[in-house]
C-alpha cells in the first residue's frame, strides 16, 4: 500500500515515550498501531489524534504490523459502504494476504480473510445469502421477541434480586441477550453461554480467537444436522428451508455470522446504556423526567459508543482516491464507525444530544448494513427496561474511574458493572414458572417478508429512517441530510 507519511519519531535515540504520549503505539515508519495496550487505552482519543493528523482517512497498522487504512470521516464511510464496484468485501483481493503476510492464525484472520458467509461477498452472491438471512430473521415477530427477552430478563433478575448487589455485566447484560439470541438460532439452552463466550473471544480478537471459532463451528454443525431431523421455529430451521437452497455449510456459517455479529454487539449496547444511566446524572435525569425516552437513550449510545467501533470496510478493487488519500488496489479499509459518528462535519459540537436521530453509522450503511438492527434494539431496550422497572433504585457500586475495559481493534468492552440496590424477593414461584418456558416468538408469514425483498422493504422503496421523536438540532440534521443525500 502507499507508504504513509511518518509521524515524528520519539525524542532521542531509543527513548521510550512517557505514558499518555501520542507516540505510544507507533510501529514501523511511525505509523499508528490499531492494536495493543496503547491503542486500546483510549480509542476515542486515538481516533481524534489520527483525524487531526491525517484527516478523514488515516494509515494504521493491524496485528502483525500489517498496513491498512482507517476511515474516520462520516462521508467517507458512506462512500466505501455504498460503492461495491470500488470496494469489495472479498478478502482474496487483499494484497497483504496474497503476499502471505496475514497468517490464518492471526487474530484478525477470522474477521478479515475470506469466509463462506455474506459479509465476504458482493453483488448477486451477497444478495442470495443475505436475502436468506434477512427473510429468515423477518419471520420472528418483534413483539414476541420482546416478550421472550422479558421472560429471560426476569429470570436472571430473580437470581440476584435478594442480594442487594450484582455485577450487571456478568450476571445480566452479557447473559440476557445471549439467552434470546441462542434461542433464536435454535441452540439448546445449556450450550448458549459457552457459545456466547467463544463469540466474544472471536470478536475481541484474542489469541483464543481461532480455537473459539472452531468450537462455534462444531456446535453449529451439530445444530444443522439436528434441525434436518427435527425442524423447529428457529433461524437454523428457516435457513435450511429457505428457497435460496443454502448448503449445510452455508447455513452453519450464517448461523455463526449472526451469533458473532449479534451477541457481543447487543451485550455492549445494553452495558454501555446501563453505564450511562447509572453514572451520568444528566442522562439519568433526562430519562426520569421524560425528556428522553429509553429508545432515544439507546440511539444516543449508538452514536457515542457504537458497540462495534471499527468494522471491516473492504478491499480496494483498483487505485482510487478517498478523503484526499491515494488508495492502492488491494489495500484494506477499516470503517471507523465510532470516529465517523463523531465527525465534526456531522456533529459540530462533540457529544451533542441527537434526540433519537437514527442517522448514525453503528449499523453501517449500503448493501451490508446490519439486517438485525431492529432485533438488536428490541432485545437491548427490553433488557434495560425490565431491569430498571424491577430495581428502580440501582446505583453504581464504584466510581466511573474505577471501571475497567477490554479492547480490541474492533470494539471496547466493559469488564464489569458492579451495582447496589435495595434487596427484593424474587417473583413468586407461580409467576416464575409461567415465565420459565417462554413460547417461541410468533411466526410471520415468510412470503410477505420475501415480497418485501432482501433488504426488507418494498422493491424500489426508499430507505426511510424513522423520524426522531424529539427534533434534533437543526444544524446537525441539515449536515446529515446533505451528506446522506450524496
Footprint of ligand HEM (CB under 6 A): 81, 118-119, 130, 133, 137, 257-258, 261-262, 265-266, 269, 307-308, 311, 362-364, 368-373, 375-376, 380
> Cβ distance 391 to 157 under 8 Å?
yes
Cell of 82: 455504498
CA distances from 162 to 274, 323, 406, 428 (A): 20, 55, 30, 13
Minimum CB separation of residue 447 from ligand HEM in Å reads: 21
- What's the rounded Cα separation, in Å, for the pair 84 and 51? 25
Shortest-Cβ-distance residue relative to ligand HEM: 372
Please give the sequence-ordered ranges of beta strands (E in DSSP) within 12-110, or none if there are none: 32-33, 57-62, 66-71, 87-88
- What's the rounded Cα separation, in Å, for the pair 255 and 186? 9
Choose between 120 and 325: whose C-beta lies nearer to ligand HEM.
Answer: 120
Cell of 178: 445471549
Minimum CB separation of residue 120 from ligand HEM in Å reads: 8
Report phi then psi at 42, rounded to 5.
Answer: -150, 80
Which of 88, 37, 21, 30 minimizes the C-alpha distance to 60? 30
Counting every residue written for the chain, the total comes to: 486
Cell of 94: 487483499
Minimum CB separation of residue 81 from ligand HEM in Å reads: 5
Choose between 26 and 111: whose C-beta lies nearer to ligand HEM.
Answer: 111
Minimum CB separation of residue 273 from ligand HEM in Å reads: 10
> Cβ distance 373 to 261 under 8 Å?
no
Choose between 31 and 251: whose C-beta lies nearer to ligand HEM.
Answer: 251
Residues in contact with 16: Cβ distance below 8 Å, sequence separation at least 6, in sequence order: 10
Choose between 38 and 136: whose C-beta lies nearer to ligand HEM.
Answer: 136
Choose between 283 and 303: whose C-beta lies nearer to ligand HEM.
Answer: 303
Choose between 47 and 160: whose C-beta lies nearer to ligand HEM.
Answer: 47
Minimum CB separation of residue 61 from ligand HEM in Å reads: 22
Which of 365, 128, 149 minimizes the C-alpha distance to 270? 149
For helices 373-390 and 176-185, give the axis angle rounded to 10 degrees. Answer: 140
> Cβ distance 106 to 112 under 8 Å?
no
Minimum CB separation of residue 299 from ligand HEM in Å reads: 11
Minimum CB separation of residue 90 from ligand HEM in Å reads: 12
Name the residue with cell 426520569.
288
Cell of 380: 437491548
Minimum CB separation of residue 80 from ligand HEM in Å reads: 9
Choose between 423 and 466: whose C-beta lies nearer to ligand HEM.
Answer: 466
For helices 248-279 and 176-185, give the axis angle rounded to 10 degrees. Answer: 160
Minimum CB separation of residue 181 from ligand HEM in Å reads: 6
> Cβ distance 175 to 411 under 8 Å?
no
- What's the rounded Cα separation, in Å, for the pair 477 and 484? 10
- What's the rounded Cα separation, in Å, for the pair 79 and 75? 6
- What's the rounded Cα separation, in Å, for the pair 246 and 256? 14
Choose between 237 and 364: whose C-beta lies nearer to ligand HEM.
Answer: 364
Minimum CB separation of residue 369 from ligand HEM in Å reads: 6
Minimum CB separation of residue 136 from ligand HEM in Å reads: 10
- What's the rounded Cα separation, in Å, for the pair 323 and 58? 9
Minimum CB separation of residue 268 from ligand HEM in Å reads: 7
Choose between 38 and 175: whose C-beta lies nearer to ligand HEM.
Answer: 175
Choose between 51 and 368: whose C-beta lies nearer to ligand HEM.
Answer: 368
Choose between 258 and 417: whose C-beta lies nearer to ligand HEM.
Answer: 258
Cell of 92: 482474496
The secondary structure of 36-56 as a DSSP string is SHHHHH-HHHHHHHHHHHHTT
Choose between 93 and 265: whose C-beta lies nearer to ligand HEM.
Answer: 265
Angle at 208 between CA 203 and CA 210, to 5 degrees: 75
Q: Would you give the distance in Å from CA 230 to the centre of its chain?
A: 32
Amino acid at each position: 500500500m502507499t507508504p504513509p507519511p511518518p509521524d515524528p519519531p520519539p525524542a532521542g535515540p531509543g527513548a521510550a515515550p512517557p505514558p499518555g504520549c501520542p507516540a505510544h503505539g507507533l510501529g514501523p515508519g511511525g505509523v499508528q498501531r490499531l492494536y495493543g495496550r496503547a491503542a486500546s487505552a483510549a480509542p476515542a482519543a486515538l481516533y481524534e489524534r489520527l483525524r487531526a493528523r491525517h484527516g478523514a482517512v488515516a494509515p494504521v497498522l493491524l496485528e502483525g504490523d500489517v498496513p491498512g487504512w482507517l476511515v474516520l470521516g462520516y462521508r467517507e464511510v458512506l462512500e466505501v459502504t455504498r460503492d461495491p464496484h470500488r470496494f469489495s468485501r472479498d478478502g482474496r483481493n487483499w494484497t497483504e494476504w496474497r503476499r502471505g503476510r496475514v497468517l490464518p492464525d492471526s487474530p484478525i484472520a477470522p474477521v478479515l480473510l475470506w469466509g463462506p458467509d455474506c459479509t465476504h461477498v458482493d453483488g448477486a452472491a451477497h444478495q442470495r445469502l443475505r436475502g436468506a438471512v434477512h427473510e429468515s430473521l423477518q419471520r420472528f415477530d418483534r413483539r414476541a421477541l420482546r416478550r421472550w427477552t422479558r421472560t429471560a430478563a426476569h429470570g436472571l433478575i430473580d437470581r440476584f434480586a435478594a442480594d442487594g448487589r450484582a455485577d450487571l455485566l456478568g450476571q445480566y447484560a452479557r447473559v440476557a441477550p445471549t439467552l434470546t439470541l441462542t434461542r433464536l438460532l435454535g441452540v439448546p439452552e445449556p450450550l448458549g453461554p459457552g457459545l456466547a463466550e467463544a463469540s466474544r473471544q472471536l470478536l475481541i480478537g484474542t489469541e483464543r480467537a481461532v480455537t473459539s471459532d472452531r468450537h462455534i463451528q462444531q456446535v453449529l454443525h451439530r445444530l444443522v444436522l439436528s434441525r434436518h431431523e427435527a425442524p423447529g421455529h428457529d433461524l437454523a430451521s428457516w435457513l435450511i428451508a429457505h428457497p435460496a437452497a443454502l448448503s449445510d455449510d452455508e447455513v452453519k456459517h450464517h448461523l455463526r455470522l449472526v451469533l458473532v455479529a449479534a451477541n457481543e454487539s447487543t451485550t455492549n449496547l445494553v452495558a454501555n446504556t446501563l453505564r450511562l444511566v447509572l453514572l451520568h446524572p444528566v442522562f439519568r435525569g433526562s430519562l426520569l423526567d421524560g425528556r428522553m425516552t429509553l429508545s432515544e437513550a439507546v440511539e444516543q449510545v449508538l452514536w457515542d459508543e457504537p458497540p462495534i467501533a471499527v468494522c471491516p470496510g473492504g478491499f480496494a478493487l483498483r487505485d482510487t482516491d478517498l478523503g484526499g488519500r491515494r488508495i492502492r488496489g488491494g489495500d484494506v479499509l477499516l470503517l471507523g464507525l465510532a470516529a465517523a459518528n463523531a465527525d465534526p462535519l456531522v456533529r459540530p459540537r462533540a457529544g451533542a444530544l441527537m434526540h433519537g436521530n437514527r442517522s448514525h453509522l453503528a449499523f453501517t450503511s449500503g448493501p451490508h448494513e446490519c439486517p438485525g438492527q431492529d432485533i438488536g434494539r428490541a432485545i437491548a431496550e427490553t433488557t434495560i427496561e425490565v431491569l430498571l422497572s424491577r430495581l428502580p433504585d440501582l446505583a453504581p457500586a464504584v466510581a466511573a474511574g474505577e471501571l475497567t475495559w477490554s479492547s480490541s481493534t474492533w470494539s471496547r468492552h466493559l469488564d464489569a458493572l458492579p451495582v447496589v440496590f435495595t434487596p427484593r424477593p424474587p417473583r413468586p414461584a407461580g409467576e416464575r414458572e409461567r415465565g420459565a418456558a417462554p413460547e417461541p416468538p410468533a411466526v410471520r408469514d415468510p412470503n410477505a417478508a420475501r415480497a418485501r425483498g432482501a433488504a426488507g422493504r418494498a422493491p424500489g422503496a426508499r430507505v426511510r429512517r424513522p423520524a426522531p421523536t424529539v427534533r434534533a438540532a437543526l444544524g446537525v440534521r441539515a449536515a446529515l441530510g446533505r451528506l446522506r443525500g450524496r
